[in-house]
A and B are shown apart, each in its own frame.
Chain A
Amino acid sequence: MKTLLKLLLFTTTIYFNPMVYAENIKPPFGIRNYDIGTAPDFILQDVDGENFALKNTRGRWVFLHFWASWCGPCREEMPAVQRLADTMKDDLTIVMINTAEDEDTIFEFLAAIDVELNSLMDVDGLVTEVWKPRGLPTTFLIDPDGKVKYQAIGGREWEKPEYMNFLKQLLNQSN
């Protein structure tokens, strides 16, 4: 059944000149400026057993999403994240991190809600501890230079125009 889960951790050969990202872009409700500097790096395995290193995403905006299966808003938000991935996968790297659950739980959950998102497994919760999301779900937006810029709190309807336009502005600023 793992073949049903397609890997959505994209790498790219597109790199950009150093620049200041996300200046003068006002985030919509639920997304706060979170300018904490360089994103803490990590290497985690996904549900297919593949290693993923955050540092390899440089050159693209990263949508870093923390979730757990017991978290109701995570379940509700997941289809919106899937649609976002479907729409923006060519420009935005979607990285899902499950916090402190085992592989079977993660796999069963993703299959049950019928999304094709892969997820990294922070089995001990230690990466989550470093990132300190305010709650679950939480999404961090990381710019192409590897700097954390925004934190989205709670479930967001990512396909709504205010969020899509915001993300498109970020991506356009990079181009």
Chain B
Amino acid sequence: MLNIIPILVVIANMQVVQPVIIQTAELDIELTPRTPNQMGSFYEARGFPKNMLNVLKKQCYVTIGIRNKSDQKIWLELANWRFSSAGKPLKREHRDYWKKRWQDMNIPLNKQSTFRWTLIPETLDYLPGEEEGGNILLPFTKDFISVRATFATGENKQGKEITITTDKLFCAEDAQ
């Protein structure tokens, strides 16, 4: 449905999990769980160091694709997304967290840069017809994940707020 960003094209061939699809009058949203091996293979092929791969393979990956179907600007702000599982909040780490973590591990700058490209931006304004996406990383859980996200609309964020929810998201696991 959505043709998102470069990374998604690379990963598309590996996809085995059906996405959670949310549609409103204004937005199409796809949430696609990726297994650690799917993402690890991509990162490994880009020459990521082993200590970085060890961290990355323990994460829960979800690829988010968003298309603005409306005739006004829609604002993605990940700070307005709430994740929970088994009744407890699930903390999504900000891209700055990952930046510091890689710096602390002395990860080469080019690998840090490539990793950042795989993340969806923290904030993004979607023009009418625009589609963009990327990954978020969550702590791994075997329970279903609930998501509640709100989007501001309009040039100055003064339009109607859009809220989407799902309780069908999950972390994809590799086959044993």
Contact = CB atoms under 8 A, between A and B. Distances in A.
Contacts of B45: 70
Contacts of B132: 134-135, 153
Nearest to A71: B6
Contact of B127 (A32, A70, A71, A74): A32
Contacts of A135: 5-6, 117, 132, 134
Interface stretch (A9-17, A37-45, A79-87, A124-132): A124-132
A27 B131 CA distance: 18
Nearest to B131: A154
Max count, chain A CB within 10 A of own CB: residue among B10, B113, B121: B113
Given A70-B6, A74-B6, A134 B114 contact: no
B133 to A, nearest CB: 9
A126 B121 CA distance: 17
B10 A100 contact: no
Contacts, number: 61
Given A73-B6, A125-B114, A134 B109 contact: no
Interface residues of B, number: 23
A127 to B, nearest CB: 10
Nearest to A155: B6
Nearest to B5: A135
B1 interface: no
Interface string B2-38: 0001110110000000000000000000000000000
A24 B135 CA distance: 37
A68 interface: yes
A70 B46 contact: yes
A103 to B, nearest CB: 12
Contacts of A128: 113
Contacts of A153: 130, 132
A101 to B, nearest CB: 7
B83 to A, nearest CB: 23
A70 B110 CA distance: 14
Max count, chain B CB within 10 A of own CB: residue among A29, A134, A135, A153: A135
Nearest to B9: A72
Interface string A153-165: 1100000000000
A32 B109 CA distance: 30
Nearest to A125: B113
Interface of A: 29, 32, 68, 70-74, 99-102, 123-126, 128-129, 134-137, 153-154
6 contacts: A32-B127, A74-B6, A125-B116, A135-B117, A136-B117, A154-B5
Rank and list the top 3 A-B pairs by shortest CB-CB distance, nearest first: A125-B113, A71-B6, A72-B9
